[in-house]
Amino acid sequence: MSVTPTTSLIADYSAINYQDKMQINVLGSIVVPESQMYDEEDDRPPIDIVTVVDVSGSMGGERIDLLRLSLKFLVSEMRPQDRIAIISFCSHVETVFELSAVQDKARINALIDNRINATSCTALAPALYQGIVTLRHRVNANPVGSLVLLTDGFANEGDSEASVICGRVKQLLSGDKHVFDATAPHIDRIAAAPSWNNVQPGSKVAKGGLFGGLLGKKKKKNHHPAPQQQQQQQMQLPSAPLVCGSDGVDMANVDTRMLLEMMDRPGQPMSITTIGLGSSHDQAMLSAIAEGAAGMYYPITANAQVADVFGEILGGLVSAFMDRTKVTLTLAPGVTVPAESVFTGGQVTAGPGVIEFTLPTDISLGERRDIPFTAEVPALLGPDERWTAMTMTVSYFDIKAKAEATIPPVSLEIERGGTSTREESDLLAQNIIRRDVVLVMKQAREVARSSPEKARELLEGLLTRVKASTIPVYVKDGFISDLDQALASLLVSVAAMDQYAMGSAWSHQVQRGNAAMKSEAMYANVARVQTKMKSKKFMMR
């Protein structure tokens, strides 16, 4: 069965007086219909998954059991043409299973049982670096590739400063072979390149609002002895002797020469999804890594959520449809669209009469992607019953067909007569508010250190506007809760508000293009729902 995506453009005005210059809100949408096209055996595109999992001491007990079950669940749902790699880390890095086809599931499960055991420290960075190189420079790459990083603590072996780890991740994704030099760029957030597109589903938001679940939680150390203290973004680069031929980076037992040799191969598309267990992991770092590699960050506050998250991740992978989705807006003379108003989570390029951007995440079967933005329309010399303000063209890589494709362009037509008519659209309104909540969160975070009062004014102003809006109550309540919690965290400390906005707002809102993140149904598709059900059932065995 073929699948034909559709696009649309709507504005909050259907008619504008031709003599008026006006600012309007616009919503561009891409919809991929649900399909059973991947139901038949061996029909869906094969996938490559590299799992990088924490087996430090704090992962003992129920957590390590859930981790084993989660890995076995992934194996159980994969087909012979799919490939998986399992890399574990504690005080050292171990390759439990090389990136290979899932041919002998019993053998892989036995390796999981025998070699996934909780012990000692957290060499997160070396394991992550190895996982990225393994996936990005894989040979005979399958069309869909994703790295899944799971941890419950802070990095305390090898690189341990979040900004350094994010900097090296950016270097690895760009193929920079100087990545293991003694110095690395310190970077708090990493921008995704257009070709690295995510195939992950949106995550179920923790209780307490769209950005909830992370408010004001004090960072803790791992529950085991460690040679370094686990402090967020306060560690210095290690001065230990070089390991395995690295050029200044403590890489535990990872052979950097081998990684550099692998980096001679061509780079392949990939994403990174990060999972943080409990309240003692580095939320800001995991969020930044996922955002910079076109992935999703999942904060898990209860062990029972593990099944949902792994089901969602796999469901998104197996239903991936549109990759490298590029949107081009061709504007009528006099129409302008500020690049900063286009809410995509990716980089927007503005040129004369043209706006272009590539979506940072892939689009799955049954998924809707909404992109809100603002446009300035000019006054006209005379009336025009069907004035075309802009045209939207969408091109993408069809993962199933392994071919480039283009969706027929759509236009935004507005009547330019003697009157102006406003059109009410809940979908458009809640997307504009979603955008503004994230942008105000970001702005408040930036000004809070110098002027907490200004940050409070920004949040309170938007809160008033949200409360007065006519969007559906269940959506409004989620946004109100988010803003209330941001204000509450600001009263605790600037650092608490910063952590709340960074670890939660960005991870769940910037990276997604759905209308109502509070509602799981808005981003759930058949594959995700079915896979989550399978995951829960598997965990109960």
Give the whole-angstrom CA distance, residue 371 versus residue 383: 29
Question: From the centroid of its chain, how far is CA 4?
Answer: 25
Residuewise pLDDT in 10s, the chain (541 residues): 578 999 999 999 999 999 999 999 999 999 998 875 555 555 788 999 999 999 999 999 999 999 999 999 999 999 999 999 999 999 899 999 999 999 999 999 999 999 999 988 888 999 999 999 999 999 999 999 999 999 998 888 778 888 889 899 999 999 999 888 766 555 544 443 333 333 233 333 333 333 332 222 333 333 333 333 333 322 222 223 223 333 445 676 788 889 999 999 999 989 999 999 887 888 878 888 887 787 888 888 788 888 888 998 998 898 889 988 999 999 999 999 999 999 887 789 999 999 999 887 788 888 888 999 999 999 999 999 999 999 999 999 999 888 999 999 999 999 999 999 999 898 899 889 888 887 888 788 788 888 888 988 998 998 999 999 888 887 788 788 778 877 887 777 766 666 555 444 444 444 444 333 333 434 567 788 888 889 988 988 7
Q: Can you list the alpha helix ranges (DSSP code H) found in 265-370?
A: 283-292, 306-318
> Count of domains in the chain?
3
Q: Are residues 197 and 131 part of one domain?
A: yes
Domain endpoint, select from 287, 319, 351: 319
Residues 499 and 368 in one domain: no
Q: Can you read off the two tokens belonging to residue 129?
A: 């670096």
Domain that holds residue 24: 6-38+321-422
Q: At a CB cut-off of 8 Å and minimum separation 6, what does 319 contact?
A: 38, 44, 364, 365, 366, 525, 526, 527, 528
The Cα–Cα gap between 437 and 236 comes to 35
Cα separation, 525 vs 520, whole angstroms: 10
Asked if 344 and 438 sit in the same domain, the reply is no
Task: Establish if 147 belongs to a structural domain.
Answer: yes
Task: Based on the fold, state whether residues 304 and 436 are members of the same structural domain.
Answer: no
Give the span between the Cα atoms of 457 and 162, in whole angstroms.
30
Task: State how far the alpha carbon of 237 is from the alpha carbons of 75, 163, 229, 265, 385, in Å.
Answer: 37, 11, 13, 29, 65
SS3 for 61?
Answer: coil
Report the alpha-carbon distance of residue 368 to residue 525 in Å, rounded.
10
In a domain, 519, yes or no: no
SS (H, E, C) 155-189: CCCCCCCHHHHHHHHHHHHHCCCCCCECCCCCCCC
Q: Answer yes or no: do 82 and 195 share one domain.
A: yes
- Model pTM score: 0.78
Q: State whether 401 and 445 are in the same domain.
A: no
Q: Could you tell me if 176 and 312 lie in one domain?
A: yes
- Specify the pairing of strand 93-101 against strand 47-54: unpaired
Beta bridge partners of 438: none
Same domain? For 237 and 138 the reply is yes
21 and 99, same domain (yes or no): no
- Which of 234, 221, 52 lies closest to 160, judged by CA? 234
Residues 6+ apart with CB under 8 A from 408: none
Looking at the fold, whether 74 and 121 belong to one and the same domain comes out as yes
- Is residue 207 classed exposed, middle or buried when 0-12, 13-18 and 19+ CB atoms within 10 A define those classes? exposed
The CATH number given to whatever domain includes residue 259 is: 3.40.50.410
d(C-alpha 128, C-alpha 158), whole Å: 11
